[in-house]
Structure 1
């Protein structure tokens, strides 16, 4: 059974304090549809249910794994429809692994090119009018 404290809505400042997510970011996420406030106080402050903390933790973790906010919103929509988005998460993470592998290949190629340039380095003392740095050109 939920305690009275757990049922009590959280104000945006409390959400920030408990989650470590800045107020501005909470507002931004709400504007993107990642979070939903449960109304406002008489003073105009946003109120959130306690599940906002779970959603913010999910958003932060998904971002750290390279998912975009649009991808995260799609996953949260699946959750909000009453389904677990685990299959979609698995596919997104597999796609990210492929992207990382591609980036690694590109970086290794760049590293080889840079190493090749540096291994043939000569100090060019004579300045030529038509070049900036002969080793790069």
Structure 2
């Protein structure tokens, strides 16, 4: 991310360019409350963002890359907006993500075992009686 002085106001296109996000995404994040409400407008009516928005967008991007939902991210940012460090909340969210991943891995391992078992007993040419009554007797019970 490019370094910007903290007193400079940025138009949304500049924020997009510096953050690597699209203008549409930034508007969406503003609409759903991830960004502080824009209070400044330029003389020509453009929204102006404080350069600190780049830090916030960087956090949002990183949190999303770690699997946090936009709702979870908004809750974390609300804690920060109250002047508190939300590290405890972030840790709880990440622990929940690890548990969900563990459950997904277990489910995938079960599925892999079932698939291996099916393939181990695979019949290329099922009996004509089986074939007439099913679509694929290898996977139908």
When the two structures are superposed, what TM-score results if normalisation uses the length of structure 2? 0.88
Q: Is 1:76 the counterpart of 2:77 in the alignment?
A: yes
Deviations 1:95-125, CA, capped at 9 Å, x for gaps:
1111111110001001111111111111126
Q: CA RMSD in A?
A: 1.7
State whether residues 11 and 48 of structure 2, in contact with CA within 8 Å, keep that contact through their aligned partners in structure 1.
yes
Check if 1:62 corresponds to 2:63.
Answer: yes
Query: Greater shift after overlay, 120-129 or 74-83?
Result: 120-129
Q: Is 1:104 equivalent to 2:105 in the alignment?
A: yes
Please tell me whether residue 46 in structure 1 is matched to residue 52 in structure 2: no
Cα distance in 2, alignment partners of residues 103 and 5 from structure 1? 44
Shift of 1:5: 4.9
- Listed one character per residue, the Cα deviations across residues 18-65 of structure 1 (whole Å, up to 9, x for unaligned) are 010011000000000101224222333221111111111100111111
Task: Output the CA distance in 1 between the equivalents of 2:48 and 2:42.
Answer: 7
Determine whether 1:16 maps to 2:16.
yes
Structure 2: runs of 5+ lacking an equivalent: none
- Number of residue pairs matched by the alignment: 134
Contact 1:39/1:48 (CA < 8 Å) preserved in 2?
yes
Tell me the distance in 2 between the aligned counterparts of 1:6 and 1:96: 34
Q: Is the CA contact 2:6–2:51 (under 8 Å) kept in the aligned structure 1?
A: yes
Q: Which runs of 4+ in 1 moved over 4 A?
A: none
Unaligned runs of 5+ in 1: none
TM-score of the superposed pair, with normalisation by structure 1:
0.90
Structure 2 CA distance for aligned equivalents of residues 16 and 66 of structure 1: 22
